[in-house]
Amino acid sequence: MEATARISAARFNSAPSGVTMKSHHVKLGITPCLRLECTFWLEEDGWCGDIESSGIRVHAPSFVAAKNDMELELGEHIGTLLKAHGNSERGRAA
Protein backbone atom coordinates (compact mmCIF):
# COMPACT_ATOMS: atom_id res chain seq x y z
CA MET A 1 0.00 0.00 0.00
CA GLU A 2 2.85 2.40 0.77
CA ALA A 3 4.27 1.90 -2.71
CA THR A 4 0.82 2.51 -4.21
CA ALA A 5 0.50 5.74 -2.22
CA ARG A 6 3.89 6.93 -3.49
CA ILE A 7 2.99 6.12 -7.10
CA SER A 8 -0.39 7.83 -6.77
CA ALA A 9 1.21 10.90 -5.18
CA ALA A 10 3.81 11.05 -7.93
CA ARG A 11 1.10 10.90 -10.61
CA PHE A 12 -0.97 13.53 -8.81
CA ASN A 13 1.97 15.94 -8.41
CA SER A 14 3.25 15.63 -11.97
CA ALA A 15 1.64 17.77 -14.63
CA PRO A 16 1.63 17.26 -18.40
CA SER A 17 4.20 19.47 -20.19
CA GLY A 18 3.24 23.08 -20.39
CA VAL A 19 0.46 22.85 -17.75
CA THR A 20 0.92 24.67 -14.45
CA MET A 21 -0.64 22.95 -11.45
CA LYS A 22 -2.25 25.39 -9.02
CA SER A 23 -2.11 24.77 -5.29
CA HIS A 24 -5.35 24.45 -3.35
CA HIS A 25 -6.48 23.07 -0.01
CA VAL A 26 -8.62 19.99 0.40
CA LYS A 27 -10.21 19.07 3.72
CA LEU A 28 -11.31 15.47 4.25
CA GLY A 29 -11.61 12.88 6.95
CA ILE A 30 -9.10 10.05 7.25
CA THR A 31 -9.14 6.73 9.04
CA PRO A 32 -5.77 6.03 10.64
CA CYS A 33 -4.45 2.51 11.02
CA LEU A 34 -3.88 2.03 14.73
CA ARG A 35 -3.14 -1.38 16.21
CA LEU A 36 -4.02 -1.89 19.86
CA GLU A 37 -4.22 -5.08 21.85
CA CYS A 38 -7.86 -5.81 22.65
CA THR A 39 -9.08 -8.74 24.70
CA PHE A 40 -12.32 -10.42 23.59
CA TRP A 41 -14.11 -13.25 25.38
CA LEU A 42 -17.39 -15.10 25.11
CA GLU A 43 -19.91 -14.91 27.93
CA GLU A 44 -23.34 -16.56 28.23
CA ASP A 45 -25.16 -13.55 26.75
CA GLY A 46 -22.65 -12.45 24.09
CA TRP A 47 -19.12 -11.23 23.45
CA CYS A 48 -17.20 -8.77 25.59
CA GLY A 49 -14.18 -6.73 24.59
CA ASP A 50 -11.76 -4.69 26.63
CA ILE A 51 -8.80 -2.34 26.18
CA GLU A 52 -7.36 -2.08 29.67
CA SER A 53 -5.10 0.90 28.97
CA SER A 54 -8.02 3.11 27.95
CA GLY A 55 -10.81 1.73 30.12
CA ILE A 56 -12.93 0.91 27.08
CA ARG A 57 -15.24 -2.09 27.40
CA VAL A 58 -17.94 -3.31 25.02
CA HIS A 59 -20.59 -6.01 24.98
CA ALA A 60 -22.40 -7.30 21.89
CA PRO A 61 -24.35 -10.36 20.72
CA SER A 62 -21.64 -11.47 18.25
CA PHE A 63 -17.86 -11.26 17.94
CA VAL A 64 -18.12 -9.15 14.78
CA ALA A 65 -20.49 -6.71 16.50
CA ALA A 66 -18.18 -6.52 19.54
CA LYS A 67 -15.18 -5.79 17.31
CA ASN A 68 -17.11 -3.11 15.40
CA ASP A 69 -18.35 -1.57 18.64
CA MET A 70 -14.78 -1.55 19.97
CA GLU A 71 -13.58 0.31 16.86
CA LEU A 72 -16.37 2.89 17.26
CA GLU A 73 -15.75 3.35 20.99
CA LEU A 74 -12.02 3.71 20.41
CA GLY A 75 -12.65 6.31 17.69
CA GLU A 76 -14.91 8.29 20.03
CA HIS A 77 -12.33 8.02 22.83
CA ILE A 78 -9.53 9.31 20.59
CA GLY A 79 -11.78 12.10 19.31
CA THR A 80 -12.53 13.15 22.89
CA LEU A 81 -8.81 13.16 23.75
CA LEU A 82 -7.96 15.22 20.67
CA LYS A 83 -10.75 17.70 21.39
CA ALA A 84 -9.64 18.05 25.03
CA HIS A 85 -6.04 18.54 23.88
CA GLY A 86 -7.13 21.21 21.38
CA ASN A 87 -9.15 23.02 24.05
CA SER A 88 -6.21 22.99 26.47
CA GLU A 89 -3.87 24.33 23.74
CA ARG A 90 -6.29 27.21 22.99
CA GLY A 91 -6.52 27.95 26.71
CA ARG A 92 -2.74 28.29 26.99
CA ALA A 93 -2.53 30.55 23.95
CA ALA A 94 -5.06 33.01 25.36
Measured distance CA(91)–CA(18) in Å, rounded: 48
pLDDT band at 1 (very low <50, low <70, confident <90, very high): very low
pLDDT at 32 over 90: no
- Percent of the chain with pLDDT strictly greater than 70: 74
Measured distance CA(63)–CA(79) in Å, rounded: 24
In a 10 Å sphere around its CB, with 0-12 CB exposed, 13-18 middle and 19+ buried, how is residue 49 labelled? buried
Whole-number mean pLDDT of the chain? 82
Contact 70, 58 (CB under 8 A): yes
Q: What are the tens digits of pLDDT across the range 3-21?
A: 445 545 555 555 566 677 7
In a 10 Å sphere around its CB, with 0-12 CB exposed, 13-18 middle and 19+ buried, how is residue 47 labelled? buried
